Structure 1
Amino acid sequence: MNTAEIRELFPILKQEVNGHPLVYLDSAATSQKPIQVIEALKHYYEWDNANVHRGVHTLGSRATDAYEGARAKVAKFIGAAGEQEIIFTRGTTTAINLVASSYARSVLKEGDEIVITPMEHHSNLIPWQQAAKATGATLKYIPLQPDGSIALADVESTITDRTKIVSVVYISNVLGVVNPVKEIAKIAHKHGAKMVVDGAQSTPHMKVDVQDLDCDFYALSGHKMCAPTGIGALYGKKALLEEMEPVEFGGEMIDHVDLYNSTWKELPWKFEGGTPIIAGAVGLGAAIDFLQEVGIENVYQHDVQLTQYALDRMTQLEDLTVYGPMTNRAGLVTFNLGDVHPHDVATVLDAEGIAIRAGHHCCQPLMRWLEVSSTARASFYLYNTEQDIDRLVMALQKTKEYFGHAIG
């Protein structure tokens, strides 16, 4: 499918906003949904809606097949060794919190180290802050290069034999940089540490093989990869997941319960207490089918080319500052326009029918490293075109003219 054919599958893109055709450049926050995903949700609720696992009636069996079928699709999509290694969660945030609450707090002690980077999303920073406070471990940061990238020499000098956990974002939601997580995992394992990867931005845009990366845990969110909100997954190596204790208790996750003691189901269900996010999983499965039909390699190539086109066009604008490296980045451009506040930039662009994101992007420590309070961000996906970028540049020029007193 070419981009024009892909766009036809996204009903939301056919509308006008403020009298202009919608240009949606906020996919790093959440992607739009193709008709295949919308129809899958509709079909589930109209035909298969039932609780899973326990029911023996036909609807319950169909719902269970759809739910577990989605788990199998996730496992195959990211290269897991088996379906038992896939835990459904509400998203990346919940997945990382599960690792930090269950695994980390059980192995960390005073004097141990947790290593992350200053570019982490709050979802991959605050859980480790809390784990460090609860256990007496030390939180350490791999320093960034001037362009926001990571040098492996700095990784080598930061990780020590006291390091127990290394957690790094695969693609930064601000800088767009693609981090060398496979190489970082090798260094972590050399020191006996476990490697956690925040895959919220990478999974929608590039081929992921968790076994090739040799990460110990990998977290993803469905809503950034054409699936519904409220569904995501945690991949964990089976041996590690088997050692971990659940953090939510109740129905679905139990094996045997008596008045004073209980035992848990086997993987993956011991981590999925309560009625699971069944419809979300169905939608995630449909989204994976869609991305595989398009070809995830094609998505990556499209995003890289579009990002380079955006960089080439946007850097021609005077007084526009781009953050992050100019190469080895995918899917987004984060910027500021002179002294105009990013919220004002976003407001003018919205009046032109262009949706971008403005603020600290849940990366306040990174904003301080960049020496700004906030930034504007245009992020791209498989349905965006060069014409979208041209509209963005024209609107930014109009913003410059409107706020001319604040530029320069």
Structure 2
Amino acid sequence: MKTHFIAIGGSAMHNLAIALKDKGYQVTGSDDAIFEPSRSRLEKKGILPQELGWFPEKVTSDIDAVILGMHAHQDNPELAKAKELGLKIYSYPEFLYEQSKTKTRVVIAGSHGKTTITSMILHVLNFHQKDVDYMVGAQLEGFDCMVKLTQDNDFMVLEGDEYLSSPIDLRSKFLLYQPNIALMSGIAWDHINVFKTFDDYIEQFRRFVASITPGGVLVYNEEDAEVVKVVEAAENYFRKIPYKTPEYEINNGKVYLKTEMGDIPLSVFGAHNLLNLEGARHICHTLGIMDEDFYDAIMSFKGASKRLEKVEREDKGTLYKDFAHAPSKVKAAVKAFCEQFKNEKKYGFLELHTYSSLNPVFLEQYDHAMDGLEEAIVFYSEDALKIKRMDPISPDLIKEKFKNENLKVFTNAEELHAYWETLDKTNGVFLMMSSGNFGGLDLTK
């Protein structure tokens, strides 16, 4: 099969391209910008475009599938050529469904926790040498690629994102997967540039539940009121399995899960991660993994990339980075950090980086998000606001919305870096929350 990727350099797209190359497909692609690690990984597989840009002549009538990434625009010249030739154009999730429609599809959805839960499931299956196809949104220890596609595997585990599928397909990605087994971890308004109201956002999850195949299974977080409302309102037929935070305790900085089989030591911490673990356990049970085998495997799970991930520093200071940027994720990460390091001085840094997090209306969601930290710092770039064509935001407004008068607010990367240099990284613990990089801050030094 011959495939062509428009915007092959994306974090998700390049992994799918590699997976198809490994499956024996012919793969070509284009992009106007390709960064690391995408560049090196594509080059290693021999599918890195020779030059950057869009080249309609690459799109020929013998191509079986054109896969369109979100980074491309509707007026992309390669997309226009594909339409002119009448080629089949897929979004990323649509093509994944085509690759998995004869398999049992397991889809993990939710505003928060879905990457970690998917990672936990894959870690357990890999530990017990259970081979499945998969797509996950983070690099995992023990896995070479974030996407795996085969002819023979019976199951495919998919991280289900509610964001849009492609520039020409405005459906939420997870609506294309038609899960046989699903999980819903939580609902908290996000992506306000696309979903203008909270109800519009919730509607995507109502549709997701409605897309579960007849007689399927939904594992859901019964502690989330919005999730419960969606599940109770569903009219289609499926089996419902609720889950909640399991019992645990912290001894000498180590988290222990309380089970009928005794106390299970874990390498992750935080109530939200224990909740994620419980959801993963139920999904693994539906896949034939008994609880004893699940616990045996989960003890060695160290977390998904950038999800409360410990950074090895030259000075041996204690620092964790987290992808948290949405309010619910920030609150969960801060709560976990404060619980884990009760007796240490706790520094929390948050970069407001996305369209949603820089929107004054959405900032209301961050109320008390940084409470419990001895030092709370928020950084956002005034240049980023200009690039996104958004109105200026004052530091006072940030403090007001966070309901934290002691909040330190930086709008200039150089000033943030200067403040960072004044801190003794071996005296206290540090939580760095961003989907960016704090203006180029090196967290290892």
TM-score > 0.5 by shorter chain: no
Higher helix proportion (structure 1 or 2): 1
| TM-score where L is the length of structure 2 | 0.25
More RCO (CA 8 Å, sep 6+)? 1
Higher strand proportion (structure 1 or 2): 2
| TM-score where L is the length of structure 1 | 0.27
